[in-house]
C-alpha cells in the first residue's frame, strides 16, 4: 500500500495537511536534535488523491510521484491472491521508487 510521509520541525504544515487530506500526525523527539519532529502520514487511496492534487505543481519529486501513482493503481482489494506477474510488477515499481528517493543531484554553478 502506498504511504506519503512528511516530517517537519514546525507543526503548522502537518496540521494543515491533516486538515486538507486527513491522515495521521504524530509528534516525537527529532533524531540527533533538541527539536520535536512532527510526522504526517497518509496511506492508500487518500495518498493517491493527494499525489494527484499536487502533481501539476511538482518539479523535484515529479518522477517519484509518477511511479508512486503507478504503484497505487496496481493495488486492489481483491480477495483473489496476486499472480507472480503482479507481485513482480509491484516489486519493480517499489524498487524504482526507492532508487529515485536515493538519487543525489550534483549542483552545477557557472
Domains of the chain, by residue range, sit at: 3-102
Please tell me what DSSP assigns to residue 72: H
- The pTM for the full model equals 0.76
Report the pLDDT value the prediction gives residue 76, as an integer from 0 to 100. Answer: 79
Domain 3-102 has CATH 3.30.70.360: no
* pLDDT averaged per 10 residues in sequence order, the chain, 110 residues: 90 93 90 85 93 94 93 84 91 91 69
Report the pLDDT value the prediction gives residue 106, as an integer from 0 to 100. Answer: 62
Report the pLDDT value the prediction gives residue 102, as an integer from 0 to 100. Answer: 86
The strand ranges marked E within the chain are 3-8, 24-29, 36-43
Report the pLDDT value the prediction gives residue 110, as an integer from 0 to 100. Answer: 58
Amino acid at each position: 500500500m502506498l504511504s506519503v510521509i512528511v516530517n517537519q520541525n514546525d507543526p503548522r504544515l502537518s496540521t494543515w495537511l491533516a486538515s486538507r487530506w486527513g491522515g495521521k500526525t504524530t509528534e516525537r523527539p527529532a533524531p540527533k536534535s533538541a527539536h520535536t519532529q512532527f510526522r504526517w502520514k497518509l496511506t492508500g487511496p487518500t495518498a493517491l488523491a493527494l499525489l494527484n492534487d499536487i502533481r501539476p505543481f511538482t518539479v523535484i519529486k515529479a518522477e517519484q510521484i509518477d511511479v508512486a501513482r503507478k504503484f497505487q493503481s496496481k493495488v486492489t482489494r481483491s480477495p483473489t491472491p496476486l499472480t507472480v506477474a503482479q507481485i513482480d510488477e509491484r516489486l519493480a515499481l517499489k524498487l524504482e521508487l526507492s532508487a529515485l528517493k536515493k538519487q543525489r543531484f550534483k549542483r552545477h554553478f557557472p
